[in-house]
Amino acid sequence: MPHWDDSHSCSSCSSSSSSEEEEPIHTTTKTTTTTTTTRAPTTTIPPEIPCLLEGTEVKTIHGYVPIERILVGEKLISDFGKEIKVAKVGKWLKTFEEAPQDLSNIVYKIPKGEYGAQSDVFITHNHRFLDQKQWILRLPYKVGLARAKRSEIVKDNQNNTYTLYHIRMENTDDNFVVNGGCVVESWKT
């Protein structure tokens, strides 16, 4: 089982944390929270929960499926190849900012070919992914990943917005696979 990289020195966070496994929470000021109503029940999640960009391909028992089509109750494949059930799906709309004051508004790019990704993975500031060489779950800013460009993440140019999703598994100790092999954490609350 991979272990957490919990060192954190962000000046906008408090220095104490209630759990060794959690990063300090950042508040978001320019976020619109939404709920999907056309599919299985979806949980509206607070903006501090880390996320993946719309279009991220998630490994299910039926192959890779875009994250926006994942439903509560669906079975994904964990990083150890076992079937794991989706307990909650969160979705929210964010506005792109060139110089965000809030760290949760920053999306990083894991380039194709790095960390097991067979295509680019776009992941928020707080979302851990597996460094397969050291078998440690890492945060994107800790390994020097670049911030994603506006042209890479904004889907609605008129409103300058993009959509983020996150998945919670029934067993939050399980991680899941995206974009052909990149392992990301499940929603930890």
Say if residue 163's pLDDT is above 70. Answer: yes
Say which residue the tokens 């079975």 belong to.
75
pLDDT tops 80 at residue 90: yes
pLDDT higher at 125 or 6: 125
Residue 11 pLDDT exceeds 50? no
Q: Where is pLDDT greater, at 154 or 13? A: 154
Long-range contacts of 84-87 (CB under 8 A, 24+ apart): 84/169, 84/170, 84/171, 84/174, 84/176, 85/169, 85/170, 86/167, 86/168, 86/169, 86/170, 87/168, 87/169, 87/170
Q: Are 176 and 79 in contact (CB under 8 A)?
A: yes
Q: Check pLDDT > 60 for residue 25.
A: no
What is the average per-residue pLDDT within 172-179? Answer: 87
Choose the weakest-confidence range: 17-31, 49-63, 144-158.
17-31
Looking up tokens 């993009």, which residue turns up? 162
Interior angle at CA 160, CA 159 and CA 165, nearest 5: 105
d(CA 28, CA 96): 12
**What does the mean pLDDT of the chain come to?**
76
Q: What is the pLDDT of residues 49-67, one digit of tens each?
A: 668 999 999 999 999 999 9
